[in-house]
Amino acid sequence: MVIKRLFACVVSALLMAGCSSDEESKDGRKVVNIGHVGPLTGPQSHLGKDNERGATLAIDEANQSGIVIGGEVIEFRLLSEDDEANPQKGTVVAERLMDANVAGVVGHLNSGTTIPASKIYFDAGVPQVSPSATAIEFTHQGYETAYRVMANDEQQGKVLGDFAVKTLGAKSIAIIDDRSAYGKGLADEFESAVKQAGGAIMTREFTDKTKIDFTAILTTIKGLNPDLIFYGGMDAQAGPMMKQIKNLGVTANFLGGDGIQTRQFTVLSGAEGEGVYASSPGLPLEQMAGGSEFRDKYKQVYREDIQLYAPYAYDATSVMIDAMKRANSVDPATYSPLLRGADFLGVTGRIRFDERGDLKGGSISLYRVTNGVWKYIETFGGGE
Amino acid sequence: MDIFAQQVINGLVLGSVYALVALGYTMVYGILGLINFAHGEVVMIGAMIALAVVSALLAASPDMNPFTMILIASAAAILVCVLLAFFMERLAYRPLRKAPRLAPLITAIGISILLQNIAMIIWGRKYKMVPQIFPTETHELFGASITSVQLFIVVISGILMAGLLLVVHFTKLGRAMRATSESQRVAGLMGINVNKIISVTFMIGAALGAVAGILVAGNYSVAHYSMGFMLGLKAFTAAVLGGIGNLGGAVLGGLLLGLIESIGAGYIGALTGGFLGSNYQDVFAFVVLIVVLVFRPTGIMGERVSERA
């Protein structure tokens, strides 16, 4: 049914150039389409579906409250597209959404798909709010249509650097990264934050995603006797790395980003993972302004627990609808400036954007492995 | 702690495993002139089977002696890998023995992909944690630390390699293998069952590979369906470095490659004044390989150029 309607909408869009302004729902409401993009198939499909559900909850709520914009009662509809976490597919579905004249886009999930698609949205002048793309480049291309509701890797690197030097008191630090866009990017930001905070970088070592033996670089690091080792990379390497660190008798603290703040890390590192620190953007769900309420609502509707970023997708959608309300228009050109000036209290916290479209005061939470599970320590940033 | 001694020990541990896997490549090459690219996957299957057996035993009787447990798991893994190698040779390589040289090579790559995907379907995409059934004890050796598992790796690899050399040089089976590698036709005329010898060669290589897989999984505490690919590639490199087709060469090549990688990753930054970092460790290892091959195209211990090469 939805697909049929969608198809009819796309066809009419092709025929009449613009259906969102013309189409009316059954009960005489004006239909406004909002796009959503995330990986709905493939290994990350559970996360993509999670985002879609978050956005759907926001849309349903807006429809229930009967929002009036420009003198008409609005019915929002979510056009959800699958980018398979593939940058090429991401641009194809972005074009498709532009053809369907959506008023705004929630997505994409991955930085890798978000960045190439953002140019298409920028060219069309359609605002795009990503719930979860954290790579710095996304908002640093000069596109005033690009927004995100999660702290970026620069903020994460800064918090990690400050935490290492100020909280953990590390004077000398060794950095390892896996040469991936994520790992290297985070390690670079961490390095500059450490230097700013007055810490010294003893060495930067490198590995890659196919390796499981790190003894050579760890021995070099051991010889330098740093207070802390930082790893920019994913859990599959960090787990075995932790064991090798302990086997070599290195006693330095170990710190990582959201790539290792996973259940998989605690499983792979076992007893040797005890005491490891890692960060993750945003607050833990229990600490979010509307976290527990949102969790219950989600569970009630979908009979499943939240995977990861659903609250951010919910907020990304809500903040967009809020800007339309304040602008009293669903025209991207009219409501876009008001999105920039948003000050919205969402489920994840207060949402305001800086001049680039990054979340102002985005929060980063730190966790530590205690008795084999990640325990929340504290949150940096976020609060005013 | 002595950093250099530690790097040498790291290299020896890494190199022992490379050597054990390299033997599988070099034995098959010596006899058939075939590079069995699926050998790395046999290593992975060995690790996966051992892990499955250990997990099952741990669940069934947690109080079992760890040595009994590892013996049962190793026996199961070796058995599966030997059977796998037998069928691989029988079904995939034997029909192609008279085919042009490229056909079995492509077949080997195909089997490698097939085995990886089968393992992915059976054991999933996630990295699997290998339970530590032995307590991790760290020993001091020449001012460097070595864990009991690492010590075990070096010792077991040494025993197996010495055993293989004894078998090849001092038994009837070994003589038949050497004869077959000289000339299959003449060996056949002398009453050697060439097909059987080739089968046995594959099976011995696979058994060594299975042990290598268990050692790797035990040392790093992880197993993954793609773990055999990179290991196989490195072991193949080691076999070429030592002189492919030569058993002693595979051992030497494996140990050397392990040392080169370890010392390369550890000192390349200091040697180049920070110009090159540890991200060049693989480049460093392959540059050494190329240099060796420029001066000794048959590898360090390779003496004769095989007629098939």
Tell me the pLDDT band of A255, cut-offs 50, 70 and 90: very high
> pLDDT category, B305, cuts 50, 70, 90?
very low
Confidence of residue A236 (pLDDT cuts 50, 70, 90): confident
Please report the pLDDT score of residue A42 as a whole number: 63
B2/B210: higher pLDDT: B210
- Which of A174-188, A310-324, B138-152, B292-306 is least confident? B292-306
State the pLDDT at residue A18.
Answer: 41
The CATH number assigned to the domain with range A2-151+286-351 reads: 3.40.50.2300
CA distance A44 to A248: 35
* B155 touches A at CB < 8 Å: no
Which pLDDT score, from 0 to 100, does residue A51 have? 93
- Higher confidence at residue B309 or residue B63? B63
Q: Do A248 and B136 touch (CB under 8 A)?
A: no
- Residue from the list A215, A216, A236 with its beta carbon closest to the beta carbon of B127: A236
Average pLDDT for chain A = 87
Mean pLDDT of the region A177-190: 85
The pLDDT value given to residue A7 = 56
Cβ atoms of A103 and A126 closer than 8 Å: yes
Banded pLDDT at A6 (limits 50, 70, 90): low
Among A171-185, A222-236, B49-63, the range scoring the smallest mean pLDDT is: A171-185
Q: Which letter, b or e, does each residue of B74-94 get, where b requires 16 or more Cβ atoms within 10 Å of its Cβ?
A: bebbbebbbebbeebbeebbb
3-state helix, strand, coil in chain A (%, to 5): 45, 20, 35
Q: List the single residue in B10, B126, B129 with the smallest CB-CB distance to A270.
A: B129
pLDDT in tens, A127-144: 999 998 888 889 999 999
Q: Looking at residue B303, what is its pLDDT?
A: 64
Which of A206, A216, A239 lies nearest to residue B277, judging by beta carbons? A206
| SS3 assignment, position A271 | helix
Contact A245, A217 (CB under 8 A): no
Partner residue facing B125 (CB), from A43, A210, A213: A43
Residue B307: pLDDT over 70: no
Q: Give the model's pLDDT for residue B242.
A: 92
**Closest to A342 (Cα-Cα) out of A363, A359, A330:** A359
Cβ pairs A/B, distance under 8 A = 92
Question: Per-residue pLDDT averaged across A357-369, rounded?
Answer: 90
- Confidence band (pLDDT; 50, 70, 90) for B308? very low
Query: Residues for chain B: how many in total?
Result: 309
At B98 the pLDDT is 87
Q: What pLDDT score does A76 carry?
A: 95
Judged by average pLDDT, the poorest of A240-244, A285-289, B220-224 is A285-289
Average pLDDT over residues B160-189: 93
Domain boundaries in chain A? 2-151+286-351, 154-281+364-380
pLDDT in tens, A335-353: 999 999 999 999 988 899 9
Residue given tokens 């773990």 in the structure block: B227
Between B140 and B235, name the one with better pLDDT: B235
Tell me the domain boundaries of chain B: 19-236
H helix or E strand, kind and range, residue A207: none
Q: Tell me, what's the pLDDT at A16?
A: 45
Q: Of B95, B82, B97, B88, which Cα lies nearest the Cα of B33?
A: B97
Judged against a pLDDT cut of 90, whether residue B115 lies above it is answered with yes
- Is-same-fold flag (A2-151+286-351; A154-281+364-380)? yes
pLDDT tens sequence across A23-64: 677 677 889 999 999 988 766 677 889 899 999 999 999 999
Output the average pLDDT for chain B.
Answer: 89
Residue ranges of chain A whose CB lies within 8 Å of a chain B CB: 43, 179, 203-208, 210-213, 215-217, 219-220, 222-223, 235-236, 239-240, 243-244, 246-249, 264, 267-268, 270
Give the pLDDT confidence score for residue A86 in this predicted structure: 86
- In the predicted structure, residue A80 carries a pLDDT above the cut 90: yes
pLDDT tens readout for residues A149-159: 988 888 899 99
Coil, strand or helix: which one is B273?
coil
A259's CB contacts (< 8 A; 6+ apart) are A182, A183, A186, A232, A233, A234, A235, A238
Single-letter amino acid code for the residue at B110: G
| Residue B170 in this model has a pLDDT that exceeds 80 | yes
A216 and B147 within 8 Å at the Cβ level: the answer is no
Maximum mean pLDDT: which of A176-185, B183-192, B274-283: B183-192
pLDDT > 90? residue B121? no
Task: Evaluate whether B228 touches B41 at the Cβ level (below 8 Å).
Answer: yes
Could you tell me the fold of the domain covering A154-281+364-380?
A: Rossmann fold (3.40.50)
pLDDT digits (tens, 9 = 90+) for B83-92: 999 999 999 9
